[in-house]
Structure 1
């Protein structure tokens, strides 16, 4: 297995224009799921 990427491989990786927006939404979704799970489990986040 090859550990390093060639320049050709890097140039062939295409990301959508709004990839950062998609990542942001995914992170916010995960945070929301964790908050709901904590509330459902009765765990309160520490206020430090």
Structure 2
């Protein structure tokens, strides 16, 4: 997955910072932050993000 801005189907934009791996399961996780309101960093399994 490339870094950059992505638009959710509901219209909000997110900035993808990169992909990391879960330390226990090795599952790929997308590191992102909303491009609106609070700008905390979040992670979500790659399979759920796309």
On whether the aligned pair clears a TM of 0.5, the verdict is no
RCO higher in structure (CA 8 A, sep ≥6): 2
- Tell me which protein shows more strand as a share of its residues: 2
- Give me the TM-score of the superposition, normalised by structure 1: 0.20
- Give me the TM-score of the superposition, normalised by structure 2: 0.20
- Tell me which protein shows more helix as a share of its residues: 1
